[in-house]
Amino acid sequence: MDATKVITETVDRIRQRRTAPLVLELDLTEGLTDRPPTDPLGAVLSMRKTRLTDVLSGLKRARQDSRVKGLIVKIGTNPLGLAMVQELRQAVVRFRAAGKLTVVFAETFGEFGAGTVPYYLASAFERVYLQPSGDVGLTGVSLEQRFVRGALGKLGVEYELGQRHEYKTAANMFTQDHMTEPHRESVARIAESVTEQVVAGIAEGRGIDPAKVRELIDQGPFIGSEAVDAGLVDRLAYRDEVYDEVKRETGEESLLLYVARYHRGGLAKKLPHPGEQVVALIQASGAIRLGRSGRSPLGGGGAVGADTISAALRAARRDDHVKAVVFRVDSPGGSYVASDTIWREVVLLRKAGKPVVVSMGDLAASGGYFISMAADVIIAQPGTLTGSIGVFGGKPVIGELLDKIGVTSETVSEGANAAMFSPSHGFSEAQWARVNAWLDRIYDDFVGKVAEGRGLTRDRAHELARGRVWTGSDARAGGLVDEIGGLEDALELARKRAGLAADAPVRSYPKLHPLERLRPPESSEDRSAALARVRLEAWGPLAQLAGELGLSPYGPLILPGTWTIR
């Protein structure tokens, strides 16, 4: 009898899990990742990291699932980029429009600190709950630029750098001690554009007049009770109280399930069958470099290798099952030559008759824009930072520093310019002329390809270029971006362009089984050539500090410092 009872209870429990109402859950305490694992170590390290694509796909499926009654999201302190937040907001708004309950809970939106972007995400939900001890750090948008010219001068270091053109401000942190007028103009417009987006989103989500939201930003930050009185938060409550309330509304028998687990549970129905036509999703996340993609085993940002991404694009072009490509770009740029290599593969994809739709993440600027501009359609979020169509280059001159610390050097060379890139001395007049010729060649090529890819006159392309960084909304107004939207919109458009069904499967490309990952590629045409490597020379957890110090090794088409708006 006891064994029978155990079996019966087990069967009932399994049946309940298959039929009970579901409340989906998303914990953003550790943030999200917008890049797939590209090597075995990366797959292991990211096993417990929630992927943005899984969340978006899970919420899209849940909109049509009658079992799913609602969504609870916990917002933590790990910052998310503005474009990623807008991607999540869009998914939540669509989920909410399907008649599902949406609830967000935070212990605090900034503990004695800024919390504008996290609160902006929360405002998309039907209900916003805050722990009684928490605050709402709605304080607005601040973009800070540090200048190190004075400090370097004291050390005896000078920079000889050229830039194209006045808005390409990457060199300014080394050559100036303040913002130039074009620099300030560009940054001020970014702050203004982002503020417009945040105000509009909060106003719509909370049902508050936009002018009132602007006033509240100037009055912030808010203690929890003040945030309730201002209409920014619905109620102060602890986690258990929030979950108990949701349980009462959705039914005591309802079950909690993480969105990513829910998504994986539906994959079996969506996997492409042999011979089925698919949309390939290829992701380029990180700084752009020559050679293979890489990532430090110590953490930090990865690198977009031209060989790796080109191999993936090439394989998609040659795969008869791939009918369209969505190219997800989240990159501040890097090497000009590497960017040009990837650009060429995008051009060849289009020539092969396969539509290419670019979906921009938080950043798709400089080299990140270079690899995007040849696509059939470019889709960005309003807060994506893009453009920065320009170039800079030069070197530090540390001869005086070496003298100060008692270091001497001697050079033996054959050729008038053999040592021109040595930091021990400055450029000669003839060498500086060569540097400027190089900068002019890169800028002219960049602007020419922008004009060709975007259907602009060269004069108009130059007007939009000059190194200026734009938000996605401003880039769309200028013609550098075609549509405002996210990855889900890009996939839908790619299916339409390819004449595929609305539910045609999407494949992260190239999808390799374990044996393909283990064996070396037979040639550069082999799909397994599109694998990343673990690189010990990467900055790892010091990547952000390296960016702050201007120590990027990636090349002339890159944004300076850190440009994620959080």
Backbone angles phi, psi at 509, to 5 degrees: -120, 140
User: Which contacts of 376-379 are long-range, i.e. CB under 8 A and separated by 24 or more positions?
Assistant: 376/350, 376/497, 377/482, 377/483, 377/490, 377/493, 377/497, 378/480, 378/481, 378/482, 378/483, 379/481, 379/482, 379/483, 379/484, 379/485, 379/486, 379/489, 379/490, 379/493
Q: Specify the DSSP class assigned to residue 266.
A: T
Catalytic site includes residue 528? no
H helix or E strand, kind and range, residue 535 = none
For helices 306-318 and 336-351, give the axis angle rounded to 10 degrees: 0
- Closest-CA residue to 322 (of 280, 357, 271): 280
Query: Out of 123, 186, 296, 366, which one is annotated catalytic?
Result: 366
Alpha carbon separation from 330 to 285, 303, 473, 564 (Å, rounded): 5, 11, 17, 11
- For 350-365, letters b (16+ CB in 10 Å) and e give beeebbbbbbbbbbbb
Beta partners for residue 109, in sequence order: 136
Catalytic site includes residue 168? yes
H helix or E strand, kind and range, residue 437 = helix 429-454
Verify cis geometry, omega within 30 degrees of 0, for the bond prior to 165: yes
For helices 336-351 and 429-454, give the axis angle rounded to 10 degrees: 20
Q: In three state form, how does the secondary structure of 62-73 look?
A: HHCCCCEEEEEE
Query: Out of 100, 168, 323, 449, which one is annotated catalytic?
Result: 168
- The residues annotated as belonging to the active site are 168, 366
